């Protein structure tokens, strides 16, 4: 039986990893290290200089365990490994964190095969080897030349046959490699700061066009993360390393006598080679066609195979009325601000676009997104905003069913407001089919799966969103919610804290951090975070009052908990299913019958306070009650398999 192939000893700095023996040594002395951190080190060091994704580490370290178990385990293993190596994440000497993607071992590693003494290597079969003792042995100096030739001939024949086989055998066809692409914010060189929406909008739309090509071969980093590099002077190599991408597209937009000049160039990250560059002189309305031309050129350069549908889409891109396109770009510009004023401005510009061109599908999708956000953040009541959001989403799909945005918006409405669970999943899956790089779909689909109690699936979807949009505070916050509902409170806190490092004054991650802190028993911190979320919201959304009331109650502060209940009652007007926002606080106060009555009164479709009851740990005390089970059944939540 053949012995297993020897494993290399990996040497770096004063350390060496003996993979076969399962040991880590420093300057020749054994260092105590647990199994998982040691195996993690072996994987990272074995691929030094290369990004190792979190998914690859999952398969290497936990091949038979679920995604849920893996997340906390990997974070713990990385922390313990860094402690062993005296490495710091903020100033890494050995292990570099590539945010939301994975890790890279950044020091050179020498691979040495330790051959045991006495092994028959080529060296100890040299001229000093002892002569054979067989009676047929002939001293080398007395062997006739013909015997040497006869003995060597079979070896020569075999060697020639092997070389011929290697040369002429059919070459295996490799599967398509997945290329990662980042589109840097196009520079506004018009000299007019008020024209910033043009360059920002062009950047977003070129990301959309590229994202629709072929998700199996091309992944495109989302706009939110890329805008963090706006005005940055970081080298291309550093940006590519931070995002884990192979290619970077950059460019600029400036005025000409007849319109605008778009300059674009594609750069390969590893050697900084400029693969392709071109200038386009076009009027504003032709920028949509330019986006398609740039997308097609990029696909050709990095050899992305286009489906017939993608080719037809790129070929069919038509000129857009400059005023319509300008209004649409301004709408997306303000939608991305996510503030009350920003969303209101977005609605105004999207409506301006559709008034001028009632058949422009992207503007309807934008209008649906804006109304959905206004309702979600409590800036517009459900009865006022939801019908407008749905009408716009349906119109977007009717006009152009090949774009993911309308389907994703419609899926969000079915999920969040109408509780049509099968329709929501159908629309989300259709959006992913059409554009596997459209981040909001993964984000919303992950939340849907979480509410259905399908935790492992939800974690997979939110990981996709994180991979494509690693610096987005909105995606990070959603990731925190998903982890919280999957009972991964430590991971939920990590996601919320990551979002707050990017944007300390964003209310949602404060709420997520409050939930995670409360679940971990840190009620004081939870109360502070919920208070901060309320302060930053510039209003009193029922969801944050709900969180704060429960935290007061579970910490034993009945007086303030009852004050919050009174506030929820006072603010109930215009809030769909408002009574449900009282239920968690009542549970924590020990008033289970009143809590069930509140849920009964708040079970109206569109109630954000009710739709999470299947997975919200704050309702665990009610789960065995038949009345609670009946409520879930009526909402269709018991029909969804876990």
What's the pLDDT at 284?
66
pLDDT tens-digit series, residues 568-593? 888 776 677 788 999 999 999 999 99
Q: What is the mean pLDDT of residues 35-39?
A: 85
Beta 51-53 vs 95-98: how paired, if at all? unpaired
* Packed helices 361-376 and 340-356: angle between N→C axes, nearest 10 degrees: 150
pLDDT digits (tens, 9 = 90+) for 207-231: 887 887 777 788 888 878 888 888 8
pLDDT class of 70 with cuts at 50, 70, 90: low
Q: How confident is the model at residue 323 (pLDDT cuts 50, 70, 90)?
A: confident
pTM of the model: 0.68
At residue 117, does pLDDT exceed 90? no
Query: Could you give the percent of the chain with pLDDT greater than 70?
Result: 81
Phi, psi of 266 (to 5 degrees): -105, 130
Contacts of 572 (CB under 8 A, 6+ apart): 542, 578, 579
Query: Which tens digit of pLDDT belongs to each residue from 409-434?
Result: 999 999 999 999 999 999 999 999 98
CA angle 105, 111, 114 (to 5 degrees): 140
Handedness of CA 609, 615, 620, 626 (dihedral sign): positive
Span 347-365, average pLDDT = 93
Backbone angles phi and psi of 596, in degrees to 5: -65, -40
Quick one: which of 209, 206, 223, 197 has its CA closest to 326?
Answer: 197
Provide the pLDDT for residue 522. 96
395 touches 385 (CB < 8 A): no
| CATH numbers and ranges of domains, the chain | 9-112 (1.10.10.10), 179-319 (3.40.50.10070), 539-642 (no CATH)
Predicted pLDDT of residue 330: 86
- Indicate if the pLDDT at residue 157 is higher than 60: no
Which of 49-53, 140-144, 494-498, 547-551 has the highest mean predicted lDDT (pLDDT)?
A: 547-551
H-helix segments, 169-317: 196-211, 223-226, 236-243, 287-301, 308-315
Q: How many CB atoms lie within 10 A of CB 497?
A: 15
Residues 6+ apart with CB under 8 A from 237: 269, 272
* CA distance linking residue 234 with residue 250, whole number of Å: 13
Please work out, in degrees rounded to the nearest 5, the angle formed at the alpha carbon of residue 183 by the alpha carbons of 491 and 204.
85
Does position 453 have pLDDT exceeding 90, yes or no?
yes
Q: Comparing C-alpha atoms, which of 197, 200, 203 is closest to residue 183?
A: 203
Neighbours of 99 (CB within 10 A): 15
**Distance (Å, whole) CA 338 – CA 343:** 6
How many CB atoms are located within 10 Å of the residue 628 CB?
19
CA distances from 31 to 12, 15, 28, 105, 623 (A): 14, 9, 9, 19, 48
Q: What angle do CA 598, 602, 608 make, to 5 degrees?
A: 120
Task: Give the DSSP letter of residue 27.
Answer: T
Q: What is the pLDDT of residue 614?
A: 94
* Residues 235 and 259 sit within 8 Å (Cβ to Cβ): no
Over range 108-118, report the average pLDDT.
63
225-244: b (≥16 Cβ within 10 Å) or e: bbbebeeeeeebeebbbbbb
User: For 277, how many CA atoms within 13 A lie in the half-sphere containing its CB?
Assistant: 9
Residue 4's pLDDT band (cuts 50, 70, 90): low
278 by DSSP, 3-state: which?
strand
* pLDDT tens figures, 179-209: 888 989 888 887 777 677 777 877 887 888 7
Note the pLDDT tens digit of each residue in 259-289: 778 888 888 888 888 888 888 877 766 666 6
Residue 35: pLDDT above 50? yes
**Interatomic CA distance for residues 162 and 180, integer angstroms:** 38
Instruction: Report residue 52's pLDDT band, with 50, 70 and 90 as the boundaries.
Output: confident
Q: What pLDDT does 461 receive?
A: 93
Rounded CA gap, 190 and 507, in Å? 35
pLDDT digits over 457-495, tens only?
A: 999 999 999 988 988 888 999 999 999 999 999 999 999
- Tell me which of 29 and 289 has the higher pLDDT: 29
Q: Is the pLDDT of residue 147 over 60?
A: no
**What's the whole-number mean pLDDT along residues 340-353?**
93
Of 593, 615, 613, residue with least CA distance to 603: 613
Candidate from 140-149, 393-402, 439-448, 629-638 with smallest mean pLDDT = 140-149
Residue 562: band (very low, low, confident or very high) from pLDDT cuts 50, 70, 90: very high
Q: Which two tokens stand for residue 581?
A: 């926002």
| pLDDT bracket for residue 68 (50, 70, 90) | very low
Cα 140 to chain centroid distance, Å, stands at 68
Q: What is the mean pLDDT of the chain?
A: 81
Residue 161: pLDDT band by 50, 70, 90 thresholds?
low
Question: Cα(555)–Cα(568) distance, rounded to whole angstroms?
Answer: 19
- Within 10 angstroms of residue 110's Cβ, the number of other Cβ atoms is 11
Q: Which two tokens stand for residue 262?
A: 């778009």
pLDDT of 50 strictly over 50: yes
Please provide the distance, in angstroms rounded to a whole number, between the alpha carbons at the two ends of the chain: 46
Confidence class for position 348, pLDDT limits 50, 70, 90: very high
Helices (H) then strands (E): counts for the chain:
26, 14
3-class state of residue 511 by DSSP: helix
Q: Residue 164: its pLDDT value, please?
A: 52
Q: Using CA atoms in the order 102, 104, 105, 111, what is the torsion angle rounded to 10 degrees?
A: 90
For residue 574, the model assigns a pLDDT of 64
Q: How far apart are CA 310 and CA 212, in angstroms?
A: 7
* pLDDT at residue 128, rounded to an integer: 40
Cα four-point dihedral sign 12, 18, 24, 25: negative
Q: Which band of pLDDT confidence, cut at 50, 70 and 90, is reported for residue 172?
A: very low
**Distance between alpha carbon 607 and the CA centroid of its chain, in Å?**
28
Q: Which helix (H) or strand (E) holds 498?
A: helix 489-502
Helix (H) or strand (E) holding 112: strand 110-112
């Amino acid at each position: 039986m053949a012995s297993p192939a020897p494993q290399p000893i990996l040497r770096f700095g004063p350390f060496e990893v003996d993979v076969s023996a399962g040991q880590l040594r420093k300057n020749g002395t054994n260092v105590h290290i647990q199994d998982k951190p040691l195996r993690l080190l072996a994987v990272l060091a074995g691929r030094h200089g290369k990004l190792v994704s979190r998914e690859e580490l999952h398969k290497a370290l936990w091949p038979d365990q679920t995604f849920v178990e893996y997340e906390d385990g990997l974070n713990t293993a990385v922390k313990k490994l860094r402690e062993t190596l005296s490495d710091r994440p903020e100033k890494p000497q050995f292990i570099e964190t590539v945010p939301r993607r994975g890790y890279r071992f950044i020091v050179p590693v020498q691979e040495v095969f330790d051959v045991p003494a006495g092994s028959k290597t080529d060296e100890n079969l040299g001229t000093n080897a002892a002569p054979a003792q067989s009676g047929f042995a002939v001293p080398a100096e007395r062997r006739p030349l013909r015997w040497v030739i006869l003995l060597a001939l079979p070896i020569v024949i075999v060697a020639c046959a092997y070389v011929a086989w290697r040369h002429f055998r059919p070459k295996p066809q490799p599967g398509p490699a997945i290329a990662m692409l980042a589109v840097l914010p196009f520079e506004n060189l018009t000299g007019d700061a008020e024209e910033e929406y043009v360059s920002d909008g062009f950047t977003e739309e070129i990301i959309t066009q590229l994202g629709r090509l072929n998700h199996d071969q091309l992944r495109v980093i989302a706009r939110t993360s890329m805008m963090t590099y706006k005005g940055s002077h970081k080298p291309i190599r550093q940006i590519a390393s931070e995002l884990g991408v192979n290619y970077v597209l950059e460019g600029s937009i400036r005025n000409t006598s007849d319109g605008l000049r778009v300059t674009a160039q594609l750069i390969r990250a590893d050697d900084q080679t400029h693969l392709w560059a071109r200038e386009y002189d076009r009027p504003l309305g032709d920028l949509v066609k330019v986006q398609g031309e740039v997308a097609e050129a990029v696909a050709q350069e990095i050899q992305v195979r286009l489906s017939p549908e993608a080719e037809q889409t790129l070929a069919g891109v038509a000129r857009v009325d400059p005023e319509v396109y300008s209004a649409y770009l301004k709408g997306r510009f303000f939608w991305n601000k996510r503030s009350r004023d920003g969303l209101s401005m977005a609605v105004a510009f999207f409506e301006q676009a559709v008034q001028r061109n009632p058949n422009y599908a992207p503007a309807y999708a934008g209008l649906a997104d804006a109304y959905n956000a206004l309702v979600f953040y409590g800036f517009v009541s459900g009865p006022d905003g939801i019908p407008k959001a749905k009408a716009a989403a349906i119109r977007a799909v009717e006009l152009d069913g090949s774009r993911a945005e309308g389907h994703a918006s419609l899926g969000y409405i079915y999920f969040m407001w109408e509780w049509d669970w099968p329709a929501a999943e159908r629309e989300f899956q259709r959006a992913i089919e059409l554009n596997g790089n459209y981040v909001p779909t993964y984000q919303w689909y992950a939340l849907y799966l979480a509410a259905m109690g399908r935790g492992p699936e939800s974690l997979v979807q939110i990981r996709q969103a994180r991979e494509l949009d690693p610096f987005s505070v909105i995606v990070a916050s959603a990731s925190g919610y998903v982890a919280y509902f999957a009972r991964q409170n430590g991971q939920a806190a990590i996601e919320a804290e990551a979002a707050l490092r990017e944007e300390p004054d964003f209310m949602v991650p404060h709420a997520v951090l409050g939930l995670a802190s409360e679940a971990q028993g840190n009620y004081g911190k939870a109360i502070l975070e919920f208070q901060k979320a309320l302060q930053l919201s510039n209003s009193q959304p029922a969801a944050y009052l709900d969180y704060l009331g429960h935290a007061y109650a579970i910490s034993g502060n009945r007086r303030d908990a009852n004050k919050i209940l009174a506030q929820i009652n006072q603010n109930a007007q215009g809030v769909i299913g408002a009574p449900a926002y009282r239920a968690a606080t009542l549970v924590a106060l020990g008033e289970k019958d009143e809590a069930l009555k509140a849920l009964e009164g708040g079970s109206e479709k569109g109630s954000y306070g009710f739709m999470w009851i299947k997975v919200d740990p704050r309702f665990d005390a009610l789960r065995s009650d038949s009345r609670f089970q009946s409520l879930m059944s009526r909402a269709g939540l018991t029909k969804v398999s876990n």
